[in-house]
Amino acid sequence: MTNRRSFLTGAGAGITALGASLVSRAGAASLPEAPTHTSSATAAPLAPTGGRPYNPVVTLNGWTLPWRMKDGVKEFHLVAEPVVREFAPGMQVNLWGYNGQSPGPTIEVVEGDRVRIFVTNKLPEHTSVHWHGQLLPCGMDGVTGLTQPGIQPGKTFVYEFVARHAGTFMYHPHADEMQQMAMGMMGFWVTHPKNPRQHAVDRDYVMLLSSYDIEPGSYTPRTNTMLDFNLWTINSRVFPGLDPMVARLGDKVRIRVGNLTMTNHPIHLHGHRFEVTGTDGGWVPKSARWPEVTTDVAVGQMRAIEFVADAPGDWAFHCHKSHHTMNAMGHDVPTLIGVDHRGVAEKINKLVPGYMVMGDKGGSMGDMKMPLPANTLPMMSGDGPFGNLEMGGMFTVLKVREGLKRGDYSDPGWYRHPAGTVAREWTGDGTLPSAPRAPDARPAPAPAGEAMDARKPGANGMTGHEHH
C-alpha cells in the first residue's frame, strides 16, 4: 500500500525528526514524507497533482513516487533501505531497495522541472544515487569519491537539478555497486515532454531488468556473482509473478525497458512490429527508426519501443535468451536426450534413494511435480489456458482486447480465440502432404545405453533444479 496519509502536510514523523538537522543546503524546514509501498501489485498510474500536466506511466508490478511542490520545486524523498520483495507467490527475497521496494519507485517529472531529491540512507553502509542519463551539474551526478562523499548510514543528502530533456532514465547507487546493485538497488526515472501531446501514447509501461543469484532454498542473493545468475527478473519479479501488460485494440503502446544486469537481453514481442523510439540519450529521430520484433537492450541501456496494439490476443513478451525465461536452476548438467537409461534408475535407486533420471525425451518439466526446497520457484511454470506455460524469469504477456475502457489495466483473463484459429491436432481429415527430407539425411545413431553419464543429486537432495 502506498502510505500518503501525511505526505501533503510534510509531517512524516520519524524521518523528519531524523533528517531535518542534516539538511541545510535546501534550507528545508521539514523533509517531504517518504511514502512506502509493500504490495507487489501494479499500481494505477499516478496522475499529477500539480505542476505541468503529463500522461503518467505504469510501472509493471511497481509504483510511482508521489512528490510535493515547495517554492516551485518538485521534492521527492527516497529512503535506501533493506526490503523484502516477493519474486512470485512462494518466494520472498531479502533485497536492498528504496521506500519499501526493489526496484525503487519510479520518479516522474516534466522537462524543465526543477527537482530536489532527498536521499536518506538506512543501509548498514554508505551509498549514493547516480541519475543515469540526466544532464546535470557534475556535483549532482552521485559518484561516490568522484563527485561527492558517500552518504553514511543514518544521513540524508539532497540532490537538486533541472530535468533538462525528456526521455527515459534510471537511478542507481554509485557506491559499492557490485554489492548494492546485486541486492536490487535501482529505479526508473521518466522525464515527460513539456507538451503532453508530444510523443503521446495510450499506454506507457516501464520496467527494469535485474538479475540475482539465489541458491534454491535460501532468501538472500549472493552478491559476489559475476555472471552466473539464476533469477532473471523484470522489476524484481519473475513469471508467473509478473502482471500482464493490458492494451485496448488499437491503442498506441510504449514499453520502456532498462537493463541493470550484467548481460544483454534481446527483448522480443510476439504478434506485433515495433520501433525503438527512445534510448537513454533521448528520442530517436523518426528517420532513424525501423521495424523490429526483437531489440537488444545492452547493459546499462534503456530502450523505449512503440507499436499499435492491432492484433487481439495473448502475446508473449520476453527476453529471447532461453535461460532467462527460467527460474533458479543448475546449468551444469549433461544432455541426456537420446540416452537409453532403462533400468539405470532402479540400479541407482538402490544406492541413492529418490534418484530420478530425466531428460531422455527432452527437457520439458511442464508436467513434473517435484518437491522443491523452501522459498524456491519451479524452473518454468505458470498455468495457461492450454496447460502448463513452460516459462519463468523475464516473461510476461501482452493482452490486447477490443472494447476495454481507457485506463483499465485489470487482467481481462485469457483470450477467447475465434473458432478455427487455434493450432490443433491433425486427425486425418484429408491427405497429409509428404514431408521431404534433406537430401543427405542419415538415420540418427541408435541409443547407446553404456554412454550414459548419470549424476548424483546435490547435497540438498532432489530439487528439480539439477536436471533439465
Of 28 and 319, which CB lies nearer to Cu ion in the complex structure? 319
Min dist. Cβ of residue 74 to Cu ion (A) = 34
Of 44 and 262, which CB lies nearer to Cu ion in the complex structure? 262
Min dist. Cβ of residue 467 to Cu ion (A) = 22
- DSSP assignment, residue 287? G
- DSSP assignment, residue 401? E
- Establish if 318 lies at the interface with Cu ion (CB under 5 A): no
Min dist. Cβ of residue 181 to Cu ion (A) = 16
- DSSP assignment, residue 209? E
Region binding Cu ion by CB under 5 A among candidate stretches 2-10, 275-283, 286-294, 317-325: 317-325
Of 79 and 231, which CB lies nearer to Cu ion in the complex structure? 231
Asked if 325 and 307 touch (Cβ cutoff 8 Å), the reply is: no
DSSP string spanning 86-116?
EEETTEEEEEEEETTBSSPPBEEEETT-EEE
Region binding Cu ion by CB under 5 A among candidate stretches 258-266, 274-282, 404-412, 436-444: 258-266
Asked if 190 and 46 touch (Cβ cutoff 8 Å), the reply is: no
Min dist. Cβ of residue 459 to Cu ion (A) = 29
The footprint of Cu ion on residues 323-352 (CB under 5 A) is: 324
* Position among 172, 248, 256, 265 found at the interface with Cu ion (CB under 5 A): 265
How far is the C-alpha of 84 from the C-alpha of 106, rounded, in Å?
A: 18
Of 61 and 64, which CB lies nearer to Cu ion in the complex structure? 61
* Position among 114, 252, 321, 455 found at the interface with Cu ion (CB under 5 A): 321
C-alpha cell at 421: 484459429
- Establish if 46 lies at the interface with Cu ion (CB under 5 A): no
Q: Going by C-beta distance under 8 Å and a sequence separation of 6 or more, which residues neighbour residue 306?
A: 201, 252, 253, 254, 274, 275, 277
Question: How many C-beta atoms surround the C-beta of residue 175 within 10 A?
Answer: 25
- Establish if 126 lies at the interface with Cu ion (CB under 5 A): no
Of 102 and 261, which CB lies nearer to Cu ion in the complex structure? 261
The closest of 298, 248, 247, 301 to 132, measured between CA atoms, is: 301
- Compute the chain's Rg from CA coordinates: 25
How far is the C-alpha of 275 from the C-alpha of 290, rounded, in Å?
A: 6
Binding footprint of Cu ion, residue count (CB under 5 A): 4
* Position among 245, 319, 391, 400 found at the interface with Cu ion (CB under 5 A): 319
- Contact positions toward Cu ion, by CB under 5 A? 265, 319, 321, 324
